[in-house]
Chains A and B, each alone.
Chain A
């Protein structure tokens, strides 16, 4: 049962080869674009690596990098093959190269699809990684004198200002953490002592947020201390005040940012995937039709091209057989060895 059979005249073959040559160069460019997008995404993720707990999400840009390079290579060869396709003398030298070429190309093309799926699937992992990372960032905000943590304050401040967010889930996260270091607290003051005593863990908690939570769009000067105390500020009600500080949490802001980025990249990679698949399918058609005319005197005759000689299942088995045989062979050899060893001992 042949899949995708098509009758091709000589003129059609010529046109197919020319079109394919052009398409393969376009596809090479698309492979380069994929590689660039992978680099860009990796750079963006690395910029915020301090607020991420793990680097699991990096599998998406890494896959894109690999796929981009492989795509450039395979499309370059596709172009060379179709250049030689119309010349019956030069075409046979590609014969042995074609089977592994198709195998590799199809593998990397499916990897492209997997990368797009991964970018949606990894959302949960990204979110949990950010949750832990931001929690630590907020906890170590005050430790500007501890080596290894001294830049947390700067990182969190920059993040909050750039993404216009405050805290992990929202601004109230700052109320639960001591973000003012003990170095700057006057322990002889009654107010400080009261506050520390009223807290179980002996922490100095305030209903205030750092200055980086302040919203520049607010019409009034920023109120960052005694936020929940309406009487401390004139004409102020914290339940209705929306513009004073950033309401949204940084986790959501970052997740939205990265998801937006990955959606755009996913769209582009999907179109590259379609272009790549069409290159492979067209090349296969051209190759099979050239093989039909090989050895004939009249190279300009009509020939049939097809995508798969046998059905899909049989072709897959044909490809996997050598791989499986290699695996079974190793197993058989090792069991023979152990058998002889047991026999000898």
Chain B
């Protein structure tokens, strides 16, 4: 399997860890909110905190959606990986490839599958190493010569393709030859070998896991969104209380003070004018608060 598919679990792990820290901090902030004096400590931090949480909530959503969208990459990755594994099945004497036979056998036994798309994939590759072929035998020589690339291809599969549920002892060699075995018809025989391809078996396995995880992460996302909304309401309400001066009075809370378009326009103006903070108006008679001072005030107040 390639490394691209690793992005899904990596994303989930990093988002999960960060969410832990953020939510812990959020808990601490909310606990302190009940006391107006303690709230003053957190006042400056709250808006950045809410913005950060908003972005991470968005990342959680992306993580959950990735679980459902990576199926094609996974399939491609599995296809390539299994092709290579089957090709290197016989290379048990080469360092770096010596465990592929064992891995492939255990995989086929565990997931009850055979080959890439089906058992016929084994007919197209040489899975018996030359070390175990008697080159003096005429049958072997014939087979090698009949193949363009000089590969020893047989209509047989490794033992790990054998289906446990078959009522008869496993037929793994001369599979397509009905006369080689008594009372055997390979077109109608369904239980002899595992019929499923390992690519499908693994794809189903991982898709199931990712779907369950995706569902759980979506639920967590909804939870996070509600936490975020609650913190925002708390923050605006506390600020209004401070503005009113009386800690026990009622105050309004909101998510956005103006509409979405207005808020976007306002914040954009602030960012534009940040660059102009060092411009000073020369005329002392004009008592107009310069645009450079207002953004500072608002940043402090919010």
Give every chain A residue within 8 A of B182 (Cβ-Cβ). Answer: 184-186, 189
User: Is the pair A221, B168 in contact by a Cβ cutoff of 8 Å?
Assistant: no
B94-137 contacts to A (CB < 8 Å): 98, 101-102, 105-106, 109, 127-129, 131-134, 137
User: Is the pair A219, B93 in contact by a Cβ cutoff of 8 Å?
Assistant: yes
Q: Is A145 positioned at the interface, with any CB of B under 8 Å from its CB?
A: yes
Q: Which of A157, A189, A217 contacts B102 (CB 8 A)?
A: A217
Min CB gap A60→B, angstroms: 30
B216-274 contacts to A (CB < 8 Å): none
Residues A214 and B129 in contact in the complex (CB < 8 Å), given A183-B168, A184-B168, A185-B182: no
Min CB gap A226→B, angstroms: 13
Q: Is A161 positioned at the interface, with any CB of B under 8 Å from its CB?
A: yes
Q: Is A179 positioned at the interface, with any CB of B under 8 Å from its CB?
A: yes
Give every chain B residue within 8 A of A154 (Cβ-Cβ). Answer: 164-165
Q: In the complex the two chains form, what is the Cα distance from A189 to B167 in whole Å? A: 22
Quick one: CB contact mask for A132-157 with B, threshold 8 Å, 1 for yes?
00000000000011000010011001
Q: In the complex the two chains form, what is the Cα distance from A300 to B275 in whole Å? A: 79
Give every chain A residue within 8 A of B133 (Cβ-Cβ). Answer: 234
Min CB gap B167→A, angstroms: 4
Q: In the complex the two chains form, what is the Cα distance from A186 to B137 in whole Å? A: 28
Give every chain A residue within 8 A of B127 (Cβ-Cβ). Answer: 221
User: Is the pair A183, B170 in contact by a Cβ cutoff of 8 Å?
Assistant: no
Q: Is B74 positioned at the interface, with any CB of A under 8 Å from its CB?
A: no
Q: Which of A180, A186, A189, A211 contacts B159 (CB 8 A)?
A: A211
A187-236 contacts to B (CB < 8 Å): 189, 210-212, 214, 216-217, 219-222, 224, 233-235
Residues A216 and B169 in contact in the complex (CB < 8 Å), given A184-B183, A235-B131: no
Q: In the complex the two chains form, what is the Cα distance from A95 to B60 in whole Å? A: 61
Q: In the complex the two chains form, what is the Cα distance from A221 to B169 in whole Å? A: 17
Residues A210 and B169 in contact in the complex (CB < 8 Å), given A216-B105, A216-B160: yes
User: Is the pair A221, B158 in contact by a Cβ cutoff of 8 Å?
Assistant: yes
Q: Is B162 positioned at the interface, with any CB of A under 8 Å from its CB?
A: yes
Number of A-B contacts defined by CB within 8 Å: 72
Give every chain B residue within 8 A of A217 (Cβ-Cβ). Answer: 102
Quick one: CB contact mask for A173-186 with B, threshold 8 Å, 1 for yes?
00000011101111
Give every chain B residue within 8 A of A150 (Cβ-Cβ). Answer: 167
Q: Is A99 positioned at the interface, with any CB of B under 8 Å from its CB?
A: no
User: Is the pair B92, A219 in contact by a Cβ cutoff of 8 Å?
Assistant: yes
User: Is the pair B159, A144 in contact by a Cβ cutoff of 8 Å?
Assistant: no
Quick one: CB contact mask for B152-172 with A, threshold 8 Å, 1 for yes?
000000111010110111101
Q: Is A310 positioned at the interface, with any CB of B under 8 Å from its CB?
A: no
Q: Is A158 positioned at the interface, with any CB of B under 8 Å from its CB?
A: yes
Q: In the complex the two chains form, what is the Cα distance from A181 to B183 in whole Å? A: 12
Q: In the complex the two chains form, what is the Cα distance from A158 to B166 in whole Å? A: 12
A145, A153, A216 — most chain B CB neighbours (10 Å) = A216
User: Is the pair B159, A222 in contact by a Cβ cutoff of 8 Å?
Assistant: yes
**Closest B residue, CB atoms, query A162:** B109
A228-271 contacts to B (CB < 8 Å): 233-235
Min CB gap A176→B, angstroms: 16
Q: In the complex the two chains form, what is the Cα distance from A232 to B220 in whole Å? A: 63
User: Is the pair A224, B159 in contact by a Cβ cutoff of 8 Å?
Assistant: yes
**Closest A residue, CB atoms, query B98:** A219
Q: In the complex the two chains form, what is the Cα distance from A150 to B170 in whole Å? A: 16
Give every chain A residue within 8 A of B101 (Cβ-Cβ). Answer: 216, 219
**Closest A residue, CB atoms, query B161:** A211
14 contacting pairs across A/B (C-beta < 8 A): A158-B164, A161-B164, A181-B168, A184-B182, A210-B169, A211-B172, A216-B106, A216-B109, A219-B98, A220-B92, A221-B158, A222-B158, A234-B132, A234-B137
Sorted nearest first, the 8 A-B pairs with minimum C-beta distance are A216-B105, A144-B167, A186-B182, A219-B92, A234-B134, A222-B159, A214-B159, A211-B170
Binding site for B on A (CB under 8 A): 144-145, 150, 153-154, 157-158, 161, 179-181, 183-186, 189, 210-212, 214, 216-217, 219-222, 224, 233-235
Q: In the complex, given contacts A180-B169, A219-B93, what are 13 additional A-B residue pairs having Cβ atoms less than 8 angstroms apart?
A: A144-B167, A153-B164, A179-B169, A181-B167, A181-B168, A186-B182, A189-B182, A211-B170, A211-B172, A216-B109, A219-B92, A219-B129, A220-B132
